[in-house]
Amino acid sequence: MFQKEKTEAVVLSRQFLGEADSQFILLTNQFGKLRAVARGERKILSKMRGGLGLFSWSEVELVRGYRQPIITAARPKMLFSNLSRDWSKFVIAQRMSRDIEALTPWDLPDENAWFFYLGALNALNLIKSHYQRLYYYFLWTLINSWGYQIDLHHCARCGGQLQSEICFLVAEEGIICANCWKANDQSEEISPNTIKILRLIASKDKTRLGRIRTSSADRKNLEKASRFFIDSIRTDQDLSSVN
């Protein structure tokens, strides 16, 4: 039985199908993350083209009941136009979308994730600097919202207070001190400044986060630690789905 429904959606990614069709991954407010197809969307006279651009926030009509939902209409609510005009913003928005796509389960509505992602896109569309800091605030808040919080004050093994020294992020456990680290640990070094930034994010202290000074080494370490943790989450999710 086919059912026609309306929902608000943001386009996370798209893939061309044939000569005129496209397949989209959408984050919706009613159905969560889903995959849908738009027939003839790439034709010049298609009425859907304006509402299905990357990062577009639109009201879409779906026909559900097919193997994949079919998009029959897309009316834009906000296009976040600055994201496509500024290459630096576009790259950050693309990373946000990839992280939402990677971490969000299929077909599971989550109102908090929906509003958080919309708010992050709107903030990125408007701000004039600190794009990277906004991204890491978005990423680690998203990680925490899905239950992957780590203790940022105590070693995950000995329970001791984390000191002002290099520590190690172990995917299955959290942050461990140098004394507890073993050579066979699957880990990534995490600097005191990176831990400080993550603490500010966890406390939602946007003011201090915007003011903190970071070196090139700090930014590289934050990126490496973030990618390591995201990759470990995705690996864990893949193993869970197999089991």
- Token digits for 243? 């089991």
12 neighbors 101 (Cβ within 8 angstroms): yes
- Distance from C-alpha of 89 to C-alpha of 162, rounded to nearest angstrom: 35
In terms of Cα–Cα distance, which of 130, 158, 125, 138 is closest to 230? 138
- Distance from C-alpha of 71 to C-alpha of 79, rounded to nearest angstrom: 18
Summarize pLDDT for 156-181 with one digit per residue, the tens: 999 999 988 899 999 778 999 999 99
AA letter at 207? T
Confidence of residue 235 (pLDDT cuts 50, 70, 90): low
Q: Taking the domain 3-78, which CATH number applies? A: 2.40.50.140
Residue 36: phi, psi to the nearest 5?
-145, 155
- Token digits for 208? 């201090």
Summarize pLDDT for 81-115 with one digit per residue, the tens: 999 999 999 999 999 999 999 888 898 999 989 99
- Token digits for 112? 């908090």
- Token digits for 123? 């903030």
Is the confidence at residue 243, as pLDDT, over 90? no
Predicted TM-score of the model (pTM): 0.86
DSSP state of 161: B
Extents of the domains making up the chain = 3-78, 129-242
2 neighbors 59 (Cβ within 8 angstroms): no
